Structure 1
Amino acid sequence: MRRLYPLMLALLLASCAQYQAGSRNPLIRTSYDAADQLVQLTQPTLPKDAPLIVATFVHLDHLTEAATLGRVLSEQVATRFTQMGYPVVELKLRGSVFVREGKGELLLSREVKDISLAHNVQAVVVGTYATSPDKIFLNLKIVRPQDNRVLSAHSVAIDLNETTQALLLSEPS
């Protein structure tokens, strides 16, 4: 048993190192920082006793479509809100949300209030992105669904590189 302790410690440290490596990834870090900024800028502050919804981030010019990039970014933002202690409603388990195969959870405005009421949701995190030859511009908002009031907004420019280009192009046909 004594011989197993060093092995178990090494495995534990290796798994921690892998987690740290993921949080250092530039795309993940950008998503986490954007979520942090949204929370810091929100007026009034968001209490942690009511849930949030994070919708799939969509292309600014095609609001009913999202490439894998939009789905990945919204998942990362939802992860960060969860890490900060906010209860996040998982939309992929709901049948009443507009979900297109390979497109993600695209909230139709008429459904936001219904879903919000059903889950006592205090806010919805929405986002759009647009691309230029060298950047992806991501715009995020926290919106109160009862009156569509924007409680917080934050914009980020992400480098268009091999990884982000692949996520943009991986949209299913």
Structure 2
Amino acid sequence: MKRWALVAACLLGAAALPGCAGYYYGEKYGPTLGTTVDAMLRGNLVETSYRATDALLKTVVLDPAQPVVVGTLVNVDRPSESSRLGRIVAGQIAGRMVQRGVLVTEMALRDAPAVARDQGELLLPRALRDAFRTQGAQAAVVGTYAVSARQLYVSLKLIGPPGDAVLAAHDYAVPMDEDVRALLAAP
């Protein structure tokens, strides 16, 4: 009962109550990053994806009873194509959200990009727009990545319905090691 009262207080006055935005994303919903066991169990890409997800969740209040959809990350230069890297990072983001107490709805987006290019702008594809309507999704995570000689740059956005409103965003970089190159090279 106390938990729901705090959720209601956060939803009603998130601006007036600092710290409420991330209250239900606490440790009881997933391991804290940075522990020795954590470092042994996860590679760099997984830990980085988890930290990026945590950063998104710290900046927005989500209703734990409404689902979030996670789209496949796409190459910023070829937004109509996906890769193993884009699919695995999306899976890691979805997994971390579940660990943090966020309801994630599975969608068959394996072949659908997270964003589509239209006259120089990035827009949500029809599959994600339909998720807002048919599944009652409160938000969707979309993302792009860009490859450079030494880094993989990732840009994540938490988009809310109905009109592509950006609720939260987080950018980060991952070193271009052999694992990242292999995930990018394979279909």
TM-score w.r.t. the length of structure 1 is 0.76
The reply on whether 1:106 has 2:116 as its aligned counterpart is: no
The reply on whether 1:130 has 2:137 as its aligned counterpart is: no
What's the C-alpha RMSD, in Å, of the aligned pairs? Answer: 1.9
Q: 1:147: how far off?
A: 2.0
What is the one-letter code of the residue matched to 1:134? Answer: R
What is the one-letter code of the residue matched to 2:55? Answer: Q
2:47 corresponds in structure 1 to 29
1:12 corresponds in structure 2 to none
Q: 1:82: how far off?
A: 0.7
Q: 1:169: how far off?
A: 0.5
| Structure 1 residue runs without a partner (length 5+) | 1-16
Q: Deviations over 1:24-74 (max 9, x none)?
A: x211000000000001122xx112110000000000011111211111111
Q: 1:19: how far off?
A: 7.7
2:83 corresponds in structure 1 to 67
2:65 corresponds in structure 1 to 49
Give distance in 1, aligned partners of 2:174 and 2:99: 22
2:9 corresponds in structure 1 to none
Greater shift after overlay, 135-144 or 115-124? Answer: 115-124
| Structure 2 residue runs without a partner (length 5+) | 1-35, 115-123
Give distance in 1, aligned partners of 2:179 and 2:125: 31
CA contact (8 A) 2:72 2:143 kept: yes
Return the match for 1:161 from 172, 177, 181. 177
Q: 1:113: how far off?
A: 2.6
What is the one-letter code of the residue matched to 1:106? Answer: P
Q: Deviations over 1:96-127 (max 9, x none)?
A: x5x43xxxx42552332322111110000000
